[in-house]
Amino acid sequence: MPVSENARAVLEKRYLLRDENGTPLEDVEGMFRRVCNAIAEGDAAYGGDVEESAAEFYRMLTDLDFLPNSPTLMNAGRHLGQLSACFVLPVGDSMEEIFDSIKNAALIHKSGGGTGFSFSRLRPKGSTVNSTGGVASGPISFMKVFNSATEAVKQGGTRRGANMGILRVDHPDILEFISCKDDTGEINNFNISVGVTEAFMEAAAKGADYELRDPNTGLATGTLSAKEVYDKIVDSAWRTGEPGIVFLDRLNRDNVVPTLGEIESTNPCGEQPLLPYESCNLGSINLVRHLKKTASGYEVDWERLGETVRKAVHFLDNVIDVNKYPLPEIDHVTKLTRKIGLGVMGFADMLLYLGIAYNSEEGVAMAGKLMAFIESEGKAASAKLAEQRGAFPLFAESTLPQETPMRNATVTTIAPTGTLSIIAGVSSGVEPVFAYAYIRNIMDGTHFVETNGILREKLTALGLLTDERMKRIAKEGSLAHIHGIPEEIKRVFVCAHDVSPIWHIRMQAAFQEHTDNAVSKTVNFVSSATREDVSEVYQLAWRLGCKGTTIYRDGSRAEQVLNIGKVSGHAEPEAEYGHILPRPRPDVTTGFTEKVRIGCGNLYITVNYDEKGICEVFTNTGRAGGCPSQSEATARLISVGIRSGIDPKKIIQQLKGIRCPSTIRQPGMSVTSCPDAIARALEKVLKATESHEAAVPVPVTPTQMTPAEAKLAKYCPECGARLEHEGGCVTCRNCGYSKCG
């Protein structure tokens, strides 16, 4: 199998079947065999050859030509058997309906899925509740209840629960919704988007007012200036990255079964619009595996790509039948439409092999040509399956051309492929390459440079590959200012922040034109971008036919570690009004992560330091549970205390030896509690830094810091590596962690 060492580590950590003690019961090849055998069983109901299909699927997956969404890899052939990544649940305007939805979301999160909700049916804040005579608290208050439930459930799963929250722009509480995540610590298990209409966008463009409507009666309750509301959306997105926008009229224009209901929401990353109680199974084709080398260079192997599309459609259609859905309503509605979402990954890498710049007319044209081919081949494959197995049950009621029965109501979706792209060893989804080289720190204090394989191949061929040049690229994050590299290579090998927001949107629109569902894409802005820049992108997304868009401006979130344009604070603690203020968190740190066995599972402790010593501690509990909030609180207080000048040795003395009943009752434990474990980790790093056995990073000044470095948001709670904003979510390219599941 063409799987890298890092990819194999991610698979072993997150996907392999294990016993109750956490011991793997299969290897990576065994995992793929388990998945393919289970999915091939779907052929049995249609008289197909199960063994032949299993072998075909196994070749496709182990060659990394195609990979299904993570729940399929995790759960196929296992007792849970829940294989879908995307769900949308209705939220009705009664206490019973609201808490039914919370319960159902908890069951979905437990099974590894993400959920989307529209809160547009809930009566606005301050409305009368007839049954009690009380006053309604409004959609945002209930979003916080959903958020808390997600927080509680996600601690025990292999994938974290993630949500999308949408509110129509004409809901009376829209202004509160737009700003509900200005405090980024609030509602942090949700991505949020405003559901805008064509009428609203036109009114905003004209500077006109628009009507707010009561969700129960549909009657107008007042008016707002569309331009002022639009500007508030832009301002909040500029400051925090949220809300995104979703074009509701376009989602319903492409709703192929309007008789089943109205599309109100999408999955957490926005690429899959769904009806209430509908789910979708996604998978992505690895485009790098569909290139062939010729005498003049690389070109797309269209024949092989078409073959993979046909196999992938077959695979995803089988998933619908063998899936064990978390709710009977979801089983029923999903099988009425049989939606699948076939997408791609490695697009940016493919352009590099072809010698095409991502931010070019040629790049956009290739996106359109490629997706048009996949759309055509995918629908032909679905029609072929309909001949053999029958059309989806609501086909006769659908808006699809009736002369060609289809097995699946939708075929294509462009999803973010965070963990899947790590497994495949390629760039994520349709995003540009994040960075071309990284410096990786090893526990023994050594460092090595990881370089993008395509760039390494190109520079080697030109005799330009040197360790010093790679280190410089790693520090810069971009090739743009690297001396000695030909301009043609710099033109092609662009990274995320070399690509202007306009090209991001143009690329998204090119894929959207040939995609049934939607395209997950994050438009990256440098920190100096203005609100007018954000507004221009939203307007362009509307004009070019996108179904929604998400932006992220560098430095716009409070938890971001690296910031461009901010002057580093005082090196020592500062006194103000008689209080000691902690020194600011350093721009660059090095650290260690240790896994410690405690009474209720595993505790992962990350201790980071700079040239002045230890500066922060992070903790994360394993999936077995534990006391995550207490451990996090302890770590935060330690971090603030140390940066305020408290001697770490004093903190270690206070924590060391604290006893917890769940830990001391079990034999063979090396610690007595979570605080004791943190103290011992602190002690190890303190000794290493004081004896100069640990590598201390050289601080990078704000003027030296690169856009690629600054795009990193915060440390991964599982491995301590830095996170990336990509595909509408936050992911770790080192261990596969994803905030969106």
In the prediction, which pLDDT does 570 show? 33
CB-based contacts of 519, cutoff 8 Å, min separation 6: 271, 414, 430, 508, 511, 512, 546, 547
Token pair 């090595």: residue: 448
Q: Helices 302-322 and 28-40 meet at what angle, rounded to 10?
A: 70
SS3 letters across 647-688: CHHHHHHHHCCCCCHHHHCCCCCCCCCHHHHHHHHHHHHHHH
CA distance 107 to 470: 47
Query: For 574-690, which CATH class?
Result: alpha beta
Which of 565, 568, 559 is closest to 588 using CA atoms?
A: 568
Token pair listed for 712: 């990193």
CA distance 126 to 149: 24
Q: Compare 547 and 735 and report the one with higher pLDDT.
A: 547
Please report, as a single letter, which amino acid is at residue 688. Answer: A
Cα–Cα distances in Å, from 357 out to 296, 492, 544, 706?
18, 4, 21, 20
- pLDDT-derived band of residue 716, with 50, 70 and 90 as boundaries? low
pLDDT in tens, 136-185: 999 999 999 999 998 888 644 455 678 999 999 999 999 999 999 987 67
Q: Is the pLDDT of residue 668 over 70?
A: no
CA distance 101 to 450: 45
Of 52-66, 103-117, 168-182, the range with the lowest mean pLDDT is 103-117
- pLDDT-derived band of residue 698, with 50, 70 and 90 as boundaries? very low
CA distance 117 to 265: 6
Token pair 């997950």: residue: 520
Write out the catalytic residue numbers: 267, 269, 271
Report whether the peptide linkage leading into residue 432 is cis, meaning its omega lies within 30 degrees of zero: no
**Which sequence spans correspond to the domains of the chain?**
5-83+282-349+362-379+400-424, 86-260, 574-690
Query: For 86-260, which CATH class?
Result: alpha beta
CA distance 348 to 122: 42
Radius of gyration of the chain (CA): 26
Cα–Cα distances in Å, from 354 out to 62, 295, 296, 359, 421?
24, 13, 10, 14, 19
CA distance 677 to 698: 29
Is the backbone of residue 387 left (phi > 0), alpha (psi -120 to 50) or beta? Answer: alpha
* Count of C-beta atoms within a 10 Å radius of residue 181: 24
Quote the percentage of the chain above a pLDDT of 90.
62
Fold identical between 86-260 and 574-690?
no
- pLDDT-derived band of residue 686, with 50, 70 and 90 as boundaries? confident
Token pair 């994360």: residue: 620
What is the value of pTM for the model shown?
A: 0.79
pLDDT in tens, 327-350: 999 999 999 999 999 999 999 999
Average pLDDT, the chain: 87
Count CA atoms within 13 Å of residue 304 on its CB side. Answer: 15
Give the residues across from 297 on adjacent strands. Answer: 294
- pLDDT-derived band of residue 559, with 50, 70 and 90 as boundaries? very low
